[in-house]
Amino acid sequence: MQVPRYPRDMIGYGANPPDAQWPGGAKLAVQIVLNYEEGGENCILHGDAASEAFLSEIVGSAQWPGQRHWNMESIYEYGSRAGFWRLHRLMKDLPITVYGVATALARSPDQVAAMKSAGWEIASHGLKWVEHKDMSEEEERTQIAEAIQLHTEVVGERPRGWYTGRCSENTVRLVAEEGGFDYVADAYADDLPYWLQIEGGQDQLIVPYTLDCNDMRFATPQGFNSGDQFLSYLKDSFDALYEEGEAGSPKMLSIGLHCRLIGRPGRVMALKRFLDYARGYSDVWFATRQQIAQHWARLHSPHKASRPSQMEKAAFMTAFGGIFEHSDWIAERAFELELGPAHDTAGGLHNALSRIFRSATQEERLGVLLAHPDLAGKLAQAKRLTLESTSEQASAGLDALTDEERANFTDLNQKYSKKFGFPFIIAVRDHDKASIMQAFLRRIEHDRGTEFAEACRQVERIAEFRLRDVLPS
């Protein structure tokens, strides 16, 4: 039976994201995307079954099966006819990325020429601006190939970045399998690029996109109603991320734009005011997504760390069977849990192992306590401790006791074991000899229930230290 595994990564970089090391020591990378979809949307002229109903001035519109929607078509046409050129005039001196729908680009040769003249990156936004969630893998794979071919014909070079947008659960894997992309943007999971391991072990760089710093919210319920709201949101996002960069953790601010939305006169001034604000900072890096991807790949290669959630059982037991002293049954049961990327860190796997320990019977937990050696006891003197216990006791100086200290420990070990029925257990890496002795004298006065609970906590703490030695924190 296949053990349960959870594929979603709920931890990412965790509490300590890497230093992006943006060029010039920039405290923030600003990445602007202009989505070019006009002419690639749902339309029966394009062979689709119905008209478009997404991201227009007609909020809440529905598709018209088998009919052209003249108003919808003309709204999209505004983006190519007027909105694009207004935005081109505003941003032609900035390094931005275009998400170009291949069929839309093919229907807009003058706009493509203007994008190239401005030096903009033209990434692929798929073959058509349609939903992919119900496509078969084969159909979507075919459309990816057709998008690349058409894009290459129209632009003059193949795309190196990809964003479907209205994607399926297979999109990122299929694009990665194609093998020719510096990055995929079909994710919203982080403020930094990250590597995603695809089935088969391939590493694909993800440069995540945004749906919040995005003018699409002018066309959705509970979105932006005025340019001032958009401006305020962009400035707050910029300020928050810039502050994190000043504190030593630079991030990336993604901004998503659409010709037919922000290209309207009543909205474009908000974008202009934001650009004036952001360009007022000398330590901000404006970049295309490809520039960011190339920077990340050069300085932050995929990290080939051990991944417990992907291990076969034998390898898992070899690596983690001894984390709880002489109690490999804990790792064996933990292997059967729903493990995922969140358990590939020291903290995550510690939680999984501790769940098993905490849910065990009283007798089983007592067995774990009994498996631990006395501090500076006979096993240590005979050099018969596990490697982990030997190292741990040595870290607190318990391998170099005076005769008097050894006699004191021996006496306390005997009294403690006689009173409680299990050895004195303490995470020695939290202590030195003096504080260990103080804890010994304090805890020997506990009742058995209190001390049993404390000993179990110490067992978990010891396991945490051991996991930190072999897994990232």
Q: What are the catalytic residues?
A: 372
> What's the distance, CA 40 to chain centroid?
31
| Three-state DSSP state, 195 | strand
Residue with tokens 């506990």: 446
Q: Measured between alpha carbons, how far is 37 from 257 in angstroms, rounded to an integer?
A: 11
| Residues near 350 by beta carbon (within 8 Å), at least 6 away in sequence | 460, 463, 464, 467
Q: Which of 412, 422, 415, 432 is nearest to 453 (CA)?
A: 422
Looking at the DSSP assignment, which residues form a beta bridge with residue 122?
98
How big is the CA angle at 399 (ends 397 and 405), to the nearest 5 degrees?
Answer: 75
Q: Measured between alpha carbons, how far is 426 from 436 in angstroms, rounded to an integer?
A: 8
The number of CA neighbours under 13 Å toward the Cβ of 83 is: 25
Retrieve residue 119's tokens. Answer: 């030096």
CB atoms within 10 A of CB 2: 4
| Residues near 456 by beta carbon (within 8 Å), at least 6 away in sequence | 357, 358, 365, 369
Contact 237, 213 (CB under 8 A): yes
DSSP 134: T
How big is the CA angle at 394 (ends 393 and 396), to the nearest 5 degrees?
Answer: 75
Buried b (16+ CB within 10 A) or exposed e, 261-284: bbbbeebbebbebbbeebeeeeeb
Q: Measured between alpha carbons, how far is 276 from 345 in angstroms, rounded to an integer?
A: 42
Q: Measured between alpha carbons, how far is 149 from 151 in angstroms, rounded to an integer?
A: 6
Contact 138, 146 (CB under 8 A): no
Contact 308, 343 (CB under 8 A): yes
User: What radius of gyration, in Å, describes the C-alpha atoms of the chain?
Assistant: 30
Q: Measured between alpha carbons, how far is 339 from 3 in angstroms, rounded to an integer?
A: 9
Retrieve residue 396's tokens. Answer: 């607190």
The number of CA neighbours under 13 Å toward the Cβ of 100 is: 34
Q: Measured between alpha carbons, how far is 302 from 287 in angstroms, rounded to an integer?
A: 22
